[in-house]
Amino acid sequence: MSEIIKKNLSEIIDLIKKKEIKSEELANLYIDKVNKSKKLNSFINTCFEHTIQKSKEFDKKPNLNSLLPGIPLAVKDLFCTNGFKTTAGSKMLENFIPQYESTVTENLWKEGAILLGKLNCDEYAMGSSNETSYFGNVINPIAKDTVPGGSSGGSASALAADLTPATIGTDTGGSIRQPASFTGTVGLKPTYGLCSRWGIVAFASSLDQAGPMTKSVKDCSIMLEAMAGFDKKDSTSIEKKKENYSKNLKTDIKGLKIGIPKEYRVENMPKEIDELWNKGKSILKDLGADIIDISLPHTKYALPTYYIVAPAEASSNLARYDGVKYGYRSSKGNDLIEMYENTRSEGFGDEVKRRILIGTYVLSSGYYDAYYLKAQKVRQLIKKDFDENFGKVDAILTPSTPSSAFKIGEKTNDPISMYLNDIFTVPVNLAGLPAISVPAGLDKKGYPLGLQLIGKTLDEQNILNVAYAFEKNCNFKNEIKNWWL
């Protein structure tokens, strides 16, 4: 039976449709493994009574035509779930129970999925290793002393450890793609505006996007199809028809033009990543794609731009945590202002405070033009780089990350070296484009590495197709040994 939960989402859906397994049996398999996998610390809260009850309801009246029939799913704890604690990995929201459901999770439940629990993440999604969570580090199932990446680290860890058949994360600067790369899984950040941001704890509103994390590209297309869609409750939601990503998935990429940006070959990048990138190019070439060298000259300015724009938006978004309407409140302080100051000092962790202070500073009187306005101008140049090249190429291939999973504690004392993790993923968020990280190989240590495919605005189908063709010809196999059981 336990072999079942090792399967991909699409295979499990087939088993449910063929009535070879019931939703309740499936739920119990996952619950059992979640209970035995506490060492990984990938869950913040579970809701097994709800899971069992909903799976029984499904089995009584199964709707087998839905996209995710009776499938238990754990989600990043940044999505508000009605009646279930949503912490954003913060002490500030440790006991917060939303009175509404995020649009994206609501879409999943409408397609038949069932909530299994809430997954650990960096505090307010600020981090690249899941080490900023108030609820502790998450362990990468590939090796017990390594981080799973972040901020969707709990999602990546739970998925790779077979604690959920698929999951969702959010990606502001790489928070889906980097942990996917670190755990040998697939992660997609959609075009800004494709998935509703309503009901997701906000970090940086002009960059935040929700997206799927899965064991295969086909699974990714199914999840994206279920999540995406216009939502009038999100003023930046794109009004367009739903697409059938899974039905339209194909491996024929003959004649497609794939760009290789020279600026993504950075100093000190391990040789293995360069080799993997070359392997990616030759696989796509063998499949009939044209490989074209391109230049994205402002790439090196993406991270500095991001570290102005994202903290600025975060400092504004996180101003709402004042200890009055919801969340943590300090018992210290003689007046209202002191109560605010102590609440925010005790409720937020170090990285969140750091970013709020950066954001406050770059928006403060006298500095706005020098920092924030400057960053918005450079953001324009970064977007232009992509716009100009997408006249010549259909998709862009790059490494997902400049390294494989690193050790717990290795980068916590040096914020800049932590930030550099997102060097290949951040430009995509600034330009609002879709990108997918797909596992491509293992390094010498046996740790997974991913390649990233970047697409044109709303061209998710195309990058899914290229990733699908690549996956079929790459023969990647994740080697996870269940050492924690």
Range in contact with another protein (rule: CB under 8 A) among 6-14, 68-76, 250-258, 368-376: 368-376
Count Cβ atoms below 10 Å from residue 214 Cβ, excluding itself.
Answer: 26
Q: Is residue 151 among the annotated active site residues?
A: yes
CB 368 within 8 A of CB 312: no
Of 176, 195, 200, the closest CA to residue 422 belongs to: 176
One of 379, 395, 400, 408 touching another protein (CB under 8 A): 379
**Looking only at Cα atoms, what is the longest distance across the chain?**
71
- CA distances 194 to 39, 185, 282, 457, Å, are 35, 22, 31, 10
Only one of the segments 178-186, 246-254, 258-266, 305-313 lies at the binding site for another protein (rule: CB under 8 A); that segment is: 305-313
Smallest distance, Å, CB 57 to another protein?
24
Encoded tokens for 250: 């194909």
User: What is the number of helices (H) and of strands (E) in the chain?
Assistant: 15, 11
How far is CA 161 from each of CA 139, 302, 423, 482, rounded to the nearest angstrom? 10, 33, 27, 7
Choosing from 90, 151, 155, 221, the catalytic residue is 151
Q: Please state, in angstroms and rounded to a whole number, the distance separating the CA atoms of residues 227 and 208.
A: 15
**Contact between 235 and another protein per CB under 8 A:** yes
Reply yes or no on whether 175 is catalytic.
yes
Please identify which residue in 3, 60, 416, 481 interacts with another protein, judged by CB under 8 A.
416
- In one letter, which amino acid is 449? L
**Interacting positions 308-367 with another protein (CB under 8 A):** 308, 315, 319, 322-329, 333-342, 344-345, 348, 353-354, 356-358, 360-361, 364
Measured from the CB atom, the residue of 194 and 283 that comes closer to another protein is 194
CB-nearer residue toward another protein: 89 or 450: 89
Task: Please choose, from the candidates 377, 449, 395, 391, the residue with its C-alpha nearest in 3D space to the C-alpha of residue 261.
Answer: 395
Q: Say which of 157, 175, 315, 404 is annotated catalytic.
A: 175
Among 48, 52, 295, 301, binds another protein (CB under 8 A): 301
Residues numbered 192-221 forming contacts with another protein, rule: CB under 8 A: 192-193, 206
Residue 423 is a binding residue for another protein (CB under 8 A): no
Q: Are 470 and 257 in contact (CB under 8 A)?
A: no
Binding site for another protein (CB under 8 A): 96-97, 99, 192-193, 206, 232, 235-236, 238, 298, 300-301, 303-305, 307-308, 315, 319, 322-329, 333-342, 344-345, 348, 353-354, 356-358, 360-361, 364, 371, 373-381, 383, 415-416, 419, 431-432
Task: Indicate which residues carry an active-site annotation.
Answer: 76, 151, 175
